Structure 1
Amino acid sequence: MHVTHDPAAASAETIGFDQFLAVDIRVGTIVEALPFPEARKPAYKLLIDFGPVIGRKRSSAQITEHYSLEELPGMQVAAVVNFPPRQIGPVMSEVLTLGFPDEAGKVVLFQPTTPVPNGGRLF
């Protein structure tokens, strides 16, 4: 599967609803944000709480342009929670934290506009 970060790219191919349902996107609250100096591109290490069923999961996120370490704890974010874990340098990333590119291609986190229970699934 090829994923593009080019906002001007054409939309992806049409998929069935079952394929959409196979991607488990949940909301969680960042409980810890740490520097990640070993990353090839500037990034933070995040610990995100997805509630009692999924629990706390680790993620690496290239969000240093728009967010400071101090403002991230307590922030709700969306993430894909059913990809296999991925080794990113010395960190095992367990979920893919979601965001959109700004005009310069820097990541802006995808967040609910009002607080929602951790673990809620996107539909």
Structure 2
Amino acid sequence: MDMQNDHSALAPLTSFDQFLAIDIRVGKILTAEPFPEARKPAYRLTIDFGNEIGTKKSSAQITKHYSLEELPGKLVLAVTNFPPRQIGKFMSEVLTLGVPDSEGEVVLIEPEQDVPIGGRLY
């Protein structure tokens, strides 16, 4: 997740069709590794989205609230149909989603129940 832009401003109205164009899926974090080359503290995640999408990589600035050891097995939501983004020597393939806490640090969006991976947000 790249927090370069100010996301606190209200977005303009959009259509339901535009919303449907964004493919947000549930994935299970398989591995979390340090990402010392990142400009801002981040982890490299490998996330399994099931048979249809497969395993994808993501860079996530979540070091404030999450340790590397607690992330494997965690269910997260991610945008799976953005183009891959080069971050240093790492290619981030999905955008792992979160919201800011009161200090602007990222808190992951997680399903509150155990749900099948690959499920699409609607």
TM-score (ref. length: structure 2)? 0.95
After superposition, the CA RMSD in angstroms is: 1.2
Aligned counterparts of 2:58 and 2:104: Cα–Cα separation in 1: 20
- After superposing on structure 2, the runs of 4+ consecutive aligned residues of structure 1 that deviate more than 4 Å are none
> When the two structures are superposed, what TM-score results if normalisation uses the length of structure 1?
0.94
Residue of structure 1 equivalent to 2:88: 89
Q: Distance in 2 between matches of 1:5 and 1:62?
A: 15
Mind listing any 5+ residue stretches in structure 1 that lack a counterpart? none
- Aligned-pair identity in percent equals 69
Question: Which position in structure 2 is the counterpart of 1:114?
Answer: 113
Aligned mates of 2:93, 2:68 — CA distance in 1: 20
Is the contact made by 1:5 and 1:101 (CA closer than 8 Å) also made in structure 2? no
1:63 aligns with 2:62: yes
Rounded to whole Å, the distance in 1 between the matches of 2:20 and 2:101 is 27
Structure whose residues are more often helix by fraction? 1
Contiguous gaps of at least 5 residues in structure 2: none
In the alignment of these two chains, the number of paired residues is 119
Partner of 1:31: 30
Q: Which amino acid aligns with 1:4?
A: D
The corresponding residue for 1:5 is 7
1:80-102 per-residue CA deviation (whole Å, 9 max, x = no partner) reads 00000000011000000000000
AA matched with 2:35: F
Aligned to 1:22: 21
Q: Aligned partners of 1:59, 1:100: CA distance in 2, in Å? A: 16
